[in-house]
Amino acid sequence: MIIQTYETEDSECPSIYLRYRDENGVVMENHDGLFRPYFYVAAGSDIPRITELFDERFDGWCVGEKTAKSLDGRELISIVAPSPRDVKPMRELCEETWEADIHFPDRYAIDNIDPQDIPDWFSNMVRAGGFDLEWNEQGELTAMGFTTNGEVVRQWSWHPTYEGALNPYRSEKEMLEAFARTFEKLDPDLITTWSGNRADWPKMYERYKHHDIGFEWMSPLSEVSTSPPMTHLPRSGVYDDGTQVIPGRMTVDLADRNHGFERVWRDAGNGQLSDRRLGAVGKVAFPNNPELWKIDTKGITHHDLWLNHFEDFLHYHRADVLLTDRLDREYHVTRFFMALQRVCGVSFGSVFTVSRFARGLLRRRATWAAPTGTYKKGTGDSYGGGFVAEPKNRPT
């Protein structure tokens, strides 16, 4: 299930969007604009002081109706924040808090959705599998493609001079506009890529921006949300591992070490991949099927292949699309992450982060509220482990 937050004009707090497809492939969706983030403080806290501090900085906060108990038996009361971005500064004004580190869509899922009610809709979803882009020496996109069934590849391409049966577009902008129309009509639920977060998605962001073509066609939330229909590209020029690039859809970069194919590969008892290039991974994954990964370009660069051997270029691009999609289908990568979501009961974006999906798993089963985490990466904090006695020497 897609559990996504989005901004609206009439509220400071994001709304929640739910989406899946039923057994007939029909999109089932719901919007909730009433849910608010909250966390706990001890009932014995200095509430007048907290009230004074919060009133100065946070318009719309309140003491909630929910109560809980800490592990050591203390009574807790809930503090409702105006929006998720207020939770961190609010908790920093308190001496001690509980559950102030739960991701907002996960908090919604924990409180409102039983994991058993999360549908197993893997076979019903629409996928744009193996989504892949190619570009030339000038940085212009030259081909775009994906497969919905693992067999037929839908390709978009352009060429300045080619005269043949393939009938490509004559400019990059024409190709981009045609792709956008088809993508919007297809309305996919899942898009898989290979190195998409570091290559394809940033390049796509760049080229649509270059031609001043909007991204409204990308997200199913474009008509109701003021959030960007494509996640803003960070200053680094690449998306972080696990990023959900398109609001309202699931995106999986199969090349991410801990969030893609290698995660499932290692969990199956295999070693770490020594080479993460698509062809090299295909060779390891399908050693007996060289036709899947052994594409001989005869040493010709992508640019020259596109410019002077256009039909061979599209054959090469088609092979990349199918190999990426097959890695997912044969090794059940996205199926694994969707199953993990059903077990832990969190948003799909949280299944790539242990601390997030573990909170969902544990919070549903605990009878007490957990203290807010204090560990920060790079602080050098350490935790004491169990005592292990030295082994005794026994005579042989």
| Short-list 210, 227, 226, CA closest to 176 | 210
Structure tokens at 147: 């497969």
Prediction pTM value = 0.88
**Residue at 210: amino acid letter:** H
**Residue 258 and residue 43 in contact, taking contact as beta carbons nearer than 8 Å:** no
Residue position matching structure tokens 């001989």: 296
Kindly give the confidence (pLDDT) of every residue in the chain, 396 residues in length, as a single tens digit, with 9 standing for 90 and above.
Answer: 999 999 999 999 999 999 999 999 999 999 999 999 999 999 999 999 999 999 999 999 999 999 999 999 999 999 999 999 999 999 999 999 999 999 999 999 999 999 889 999 999 999 999 999 999 999 999 999 999 999 999 999 999 999 887 888 999 999 999 999 999 999 999 999 999 999 999 999 999 999 999 999 999 999 999 999 999 999 999 999 999 999 999 999 999 988 899 999 999 999 999 999 999 999 999 999 888 887 777 788 888 999 999 999 999 999 999 999 999 999 999 999 999 999 999 999 999 988 899 989 988 888 899 999 864 544 444 444 444 445 555 555
> What radius of gyration, in Å, describes the C-alpha atoms of the chain?
25
Residue count of the chain, please give it. 396
> Rounded to 10 degrees, what is the CA torsion of 263, 267, 273, 279?
-70
Spatial separation of the C-alpha atoms in residues 396 and 390, rounded to whole Å: 18
Chain-centre distance of CA 7, in angstroms?
A: 18
Handedness of CA 269, 272, 278, 279 (dihedral sign): negative
> Residue 222, exposed/middle/buried by CB under 10 A (0-12, 13-18, 19+)?
buried
Q: Output the DSSP codes for 344-358.
A: HT--GGGGG-HHHHH
**CA distance readout (Å), 268 to 207, 261, 263, 323:** 38, 11, 9, 20
The pairing of strands 127-135 and 190-193 is parallel
Domain ranges of the chain: 35-118+356-374, 127-336
Q: What angle do CA 120, 118, 365 make, to 5 degrees?
A: 125
* 127 close to 148: Cβ distance less than 8 angstroms: yes
Q: At what angle do helices 310-331 and 278-285 cross, to 10 degrees?
A: 50
How far is it, in rounded angstroms, from Cα 341 to Cα 18? 14
Quick one: 127-336 is in which CATH superfamily? Ribonuclease H-like superfamily/Ribonuclease H (3.30.420.10)
User: From CA 204, how far away is CA 139, in angstroms rounded?
Assistant: 11
Residue found by looking up tokens 């590969």 in the block: 265
CATH H superfamily, domain 35-118+356-374: DNA Polymerase, chain B, domain 1 (3.30.342.10)
Query: Rounded CA gap, 41 and 75, in Å?
Result: 9
Q: Which residues are within 8 A (CB) of 154 and not within 5 positions of it... i.e. 6 or more apart?
A: 145, 146, 147, 148, 182
Count other Cβ atoms within 10 Å, centred on residue 195: 19
